[in-house]
Structure 1
Amino acid sequence: MFPASANIIIIGGGVLGASAAFQLAKDGHQDIVLLDRGPLASGTTPFAAGQTAYLSVSPDRLPLTTYCLDFLENFADRTGYPIHFNQHGSLRIALTEAYLPELEAHQVAADQLGHELKFLTPEEAKELVPTLDVPDAKGIIFIARDGYVEPKSIAIGYASAARDLGVTIQTHTKVSNIEVTEGKVKAVHTNRGKIQTNHIVVAAGAWTRQLTQRFGLDMQVVPVRHQAYVTAPLVDVVPRQPIVRLIEPQIYVRPEAGGLLVGGYGYRPVSFDMDEFPNRFEISALEPDLIYYSRLHDAATTYFPALRQATVVHERRGLPTITPDAKYLVSKVTEIKGLIIAAGCQVGGIQSSPAIGRMVADLISGQDYFGLLSAFAADRFESVYSDAQLRDQCETVYGNLYLQPH
């Protein structure tokens, strides 16, 4: 039976919305409904690389990133649902001396936490990743606790745990409007009926900006196309090899089903207005940018020569949401009481989902677990961007993600 009312409605059953549902239910909130326009985890979530990079060089963010790491390491204990966390570490590689200070800042962060971080020679790195060829790299660090997960399993795990705690999940339910009366949310209108509510969490991924524009808001977040590809099995790929992140060319490479998954930033950033797509559009139908793939592949073969002869067997692409300052958007909305936005994953929604879900719950529960909610508030932007300026700025942010200190 379709509900007529709920205390909390979450719009979006991807990894952020599902995490928020779980965290809210874990906090003891009741009468929660999670809505998704398609099946659960059917937006950008299943096309993610699922990689973690917890060792932030910003001291104030370390509690947030280490919370996410601990959550993923203990996902089954926290939710009751196991995931496969391939925790084989990561290599972060500076090809020029300009980025050595960033590697050294990671060393400081690791020392502060008492975690393992090693500087490696190019030869030592090649022992871990036989297909890697960076003989002239200026600096290479190995971060032992990084890894990657199957992204859809995370969202399904959150949703399953939320359901066990009493959350109602309604899929194939498209939100057409949010009813606001006297500055307060009143109801959500869907293709299946109207639901009265006290709180609405918009975690609608690529559709967040367009959905909130319908009731006069201008959220500073846009979807930008991100692409990766997977090769057929390669002889020298080691199943337990670490993720490789090359800073200057902004490329990441990790093992996938015996081959390599290759992705990168800055090869032709393009943002989108979701209202320009057909009404029934889904992320799985997103057209590829062949120029992007060509540039990415050409750059990657410089450091992974085996890719020159590799066969591409699968393409991945999605529309992660980007903000003008490369920070999450997790916030109440001062203009509308009861409305919360959870967006701006910065192409890191899987790894940041535990913390984003936690912060959404904090906004309703009246807490601030990390003490960072003000940094992610919707009203933090001093500049008012036109639509064209916002898209241009977010494309620039996306196109330089690896070049900014993490």
Structure 2
Amino acid sequence: MHELPSKARVVIIGGGVSGCSVAYHLTKLGWTDVVLLERKQLTSGTTWHAAGLVGQLRASENMTRLAKYSADLYTQLEAETGLATGMRQNGSITVALTDERKEEIYRQATMARAFDVEVDELSPSAVKDMYPYLNISDVKGAVHLPGDGQCDPASLAMALAKGARNGGAKIFENVKVTAVHSRHGRVSGVSWAEGDALGTIETDLVVNCGGMWGRDLAAQSGVTLPLHACEHFYIVTEAIEGLPALPVLRVPDECAYYKEDAGKMLLGAFEPKAKPWGMDGIPEDFCFDELPEDFAHFEPILEMAVGRMPMLETAGIHTFFNGPESFTPDDRYYLGEAPELRGYWVAAGFNSIGIASSGGAGWALAQWMNDGQPPFDLWEVDIRRAQPFQKNRRYLRERVTETLGLLYADHFPYRQMTTARGVRRSPLHEHLKARGAVFGEVAGWERANWFARPGQEREYRYSWGRQNWFENQRDEHLAVRHGVGLLDLTSFGKIRIEGGDALAFLQRVCANQIDVAPGRIVYTQMLNSRGGIASDLTVTRLSDTAFLAVVPAATLQRDLAWMRKHLDPEEFVVITDMTASEAVLALMGPKSRDLIQQVSPNDFSNDSFPFGTAREMEIGMGLARAHRVSYVGELGWEIYVSADQAAHVFEALEEAGEPFGLKLCGLHALDSCRIEKGFRHFGHDITDEDHVLEAGLGFAVKTRKGEFIGRDAVLRKREAGLTRRMMQFRLKDPEPLLFHNEAVVRDGQIVSTITSGNYGHSLGGAIGLGYVPCAGESEADLLSSTYEIEIAGARVPAEASLKPMYDPKAERMHL
């Protein structure tokens, strides 16, 4: 029986590789009062049976930074702790069997170079030289990452645990956390049980590293942690005579990966339709358990593998393994402080990349807890992206059947989830569906991305080239530019901030001047202490004491949490999520004024209704509020109407719009219009590590208004000068496409990546935004350089600009 402490600075729940990594890294920062509680034995959940692949390249620069950190840590951990981790940097090879997959992995190779990851493109014959057992008859190409590797997961976790103990952490096995307690909205302690012994540890910080147990544990505290276990299969052969050490091999077109280990071959699968497990919760006695075999489920993968690796035909199977791993709705893990409860931190949901991710994730979370802010942008994995409805177990069960397989599916741009759809719908959903809408999903919202023509199939045909909706987007884009378009933007997050101290509060958390007349709309950012962009929003002053903040759909929970976190207890302010109460119809284009005046008796002239104002309006037989703003760079209004009147207003606009050629438009057209105008997109172009001045948004910062969060960092940057600048690029060749993370090449050298891209139908080429280093340089220096964008290894000449290439003086929005 252990003697547990009665108090601790932090209690980590879960002794897998994630929990051990968090403990290790907190002690590295000097935290000695660290307690880790494991319900059974260390590694007994998922870690012990993980395949142990350590890949460096991820879908973004920061996720790659964390994976590279993991690889570097694991190579030095043995020397530090004296415990072997089995880490071998034997490299990895990914092969492509189709032209589309070849395009994908070659794009990834370009991205790797931009992220400073060593990479080589390989011909099929070069693959054969490195992997002689492989059938290359239909291999189109391959990519080799020499710095990748493999390790023994259980040994790795034990080494991290020993390193944590060496740093003063206390680790207890066979101690189950039965409850997390809270007081006044923050963690106050945990209760535990060890056999018949019960006790409580006072603490104001917990870290949920509970893996597949994490969701139910979080739910006890009202915390949303959407993950679900799936069955994950692999086989290990008998020893194969003469089998040498080999790189890890991935054949994503056959849903398979191969790992040589001690003269045996491990074959694992990420099958397209996975099997969820643990629908009724994880059994209490689960510990180093295996799940029942299901050879019929694995057999299609094995059949392809025998054709790919003929030696498997004669190799005996030593082990057929089936074990559970937890997956999330979007295939990205969760990190950070839960918005529902202060002091409740999370590192869970690792989607079969827990070994590669946990070193970096543990470091990042420890830094975040220590400093009060993440070391760099971690929005991709931020727990605040989770939507409350996603804790629904039926939703999770359906979604994870897809997300496991998506790890090895083609990662086409604009790829949409197909499972667990239709949860959140605009009041106009059926109207749009009847008119040809093809929907995508963001934060559970069904959103019309494009509109099919009569007779055209209403689904995506994915490709790295022009997809089947390219001409639809073009027509919708040009309607907004030259006529009038109507978009459903109901998914916008809408936050009402009201009370006697609402103005003072917003002045403190927003960088722009919020003390404006009622009816004015202010575009602003909420900054962190480093001058990074925590939120990108508009604030409309409704009255002396009431304001409406409008934020992207994906960031609503994050923005609510940020506001509530920075609200002082003595301030009289009520913050309310109003998202579902109002629909938003965006009427955009040079003919929008003529049209809106057909359905409303209100005055929409420039003098009466200038840009940046909001007015109550009559429309049809209803009432709404019109906001004169634009994310497309044209004259237009966003019409906020209560959900019960939304269908009526839509019908009135549609009927009145017929003589004007009104066109229904989707989110793809919105994005192509905004990128031509150089408007930033939060999460891609602007994040909490992008300084607001370097993002080119200094016009929305008013340092003279007085103190606000981030003001000092803005003043320091103005004094020191910018070290990089956001620029806009247009490919001179009209054929190639830009999506995200293509390499920006300046005077022959890769200097950064494209943060977001789309096709500029008015500018006649693909458009991208991206930062360019510029320390000590003038605008003239930046513009005198020669720029190219590298796409899948090919460099395409590009025009670069610091101003928007479309309507640089913003005259069209003020028509």
TM bucket, shorter chain? over 0.9
Match for residue 380 of structure 2? 375
Does 1:195 find its partner at 2:197?
Answer: no
Which among 380, 390, 396 is matched to residue 396 of structure 2? Answer: 390
Match of 1:174 in 2: 176
Distance in 2 (alpha carbons) for counterparts of 1:75 and 1:81: 8
Out of 229, 233, 238, the position equivalent to 2:235 is 229
8 Å CA contact retained: 1:11, 1:17: yes
- Shift of residue 3, structure 1, vs aligned partner: 1.8
Alignment CA distance shift 1:194-1:360 (3 Å): same
Greater relative contact order (Cα 8 A, min sep 6): structure 1 or 2?
1
Does residue 246 (structure 1) correspond to residue 248 (structure 2)? The answer is: no
| Alignment of structure 1 residues 208-219 onto 2, 5 Å | 208-219=214-225
The answer to whether structure 1 residue 326 and structure 2 residue 331 are counterparts is yes
CA–CA separation in structure 2 for the residues paired with 1:317 and 1:178? 32
Structure 1 unmatched ranges of 5 or more: none
Separation of aligned partners in 2, 1:276 and 1:131: 42
Alpha-carbon distance in 1 for matches of 2:358, 2:224: 24
Is the contact between residue 56 and residue 109 of structure 1 (CA under 8 Å) also seen in structure 2? no
**Contact in 1 for aligned 2:326/2:349 (Cα 8 Å):** yes
Q: 1:186 — aligned with what? A: 188
Cα distance change on mapping 1:119 and 1:377 into 2, 3 Å: closer
SS of the aligned residue for 1:34 comes to strand
The alpha-carbon deviation at position 267 of structure 1 amounts to 5.4
Q: 1:294 aligns with which of 299, 315, 320?
A: 299
Q: Is the 8 A contact 1:267 1:295 kept in 2?
A: no
1:124 to 126, 137, 160: 126
- How far residue 256 of structure 1 moved from its aligned partner, in angstroms, is 1.8
Structure 1 residue 284 corresponds to structure 2 residue 289: yes
Distance 1:274 1:4 in 2: 35
- Deviation larger for 21-30 or 177-186: 177-186
The 5 A counterparts of 1:3-402 are: 3-76=5-78, 81-113=83-115, 115-192=117-194, 193-235=199-241, 237-238=243-244, 240-266=245-271, 268-273=273-278, 275-366=280-371, 368=373, 370-381=375-386, 384-385=389-390, 386-402=392-408
Structure showing greater Rg: 2
TM-score (norm 1): 0.93
Kindly tell me: are residues 301 and 313 of structure 1, through their superposed partners in 2, closer, same or farther at Cα, counting changes over 3 Å?
A: same
1:83, 1:154 within 8 Å by CA — same for their partners in 2? yes
CA separation of 1:104 and 1:383: change in aligned 2, threshold 3 A: farther
Structure 1 residue 103 displacement after superposition: 1.8
Structure with greater helix percent: 1
1:387 alignment partner AA: R
How far 1:383 sits from its partner (Å)? 7.7
Question: 2:395, 2:279 → 1: CA distance?
Answer: 17
C-alpha change, 1:243 and 1:115, in structure 2 (3 Å) is same
Amino acid at match of 2:305: A
- Could you say if the C-alpha distance between residues 218 and 147 of structure 1 is closer, same or farther in structure 2, counting changes exceeding 3 Å? same
Identity percentage of aligned residues:
29
Aligned partners of 1:59 and 1:360: how far apart in 2?
17
Whether the aligned pair in 1 keeps the contact of 2:279 and 2:397 (CA below 8 Å) is no
Structure 2 CA distance for partners of 1:207 and 1:217, relative to 1, 3 Å: same
Q: What letter corresponds to residue 227 of structure 2 in structure 1?
A: V
Aligned length: 405
Q: Is the 8 A contact 1:207 1:274 kept in 2?
A: no
Give 1:338 deviation, angstroms: 1.0
- Whether contact under 8 Å (1:266, 1:398) holds in the other structure is yes
Structure 2 unmatched runs, 5+: 413-815
Q: Does the residue aligned with 2:286 lie in a helix, a strand or coil?
A: coil
Task: Tell me if the contact between 2:276 and 2:401 (Cα under 8 Å) persists in the aligned partners.
Answer: yes
Q: What residue identity is the alignment partner of 2:276?
A: S
| In 2: Cα distance, 1:57 partner to 1:7 partner | 34
Work out the CA distance in 1 between the residues paired with 2:96 and 2:66: 25
- Tell me the CA shift for residue 276 of structure 1: 3.9
Deviates more, 1:43-52 or 1:310-319: 310-319
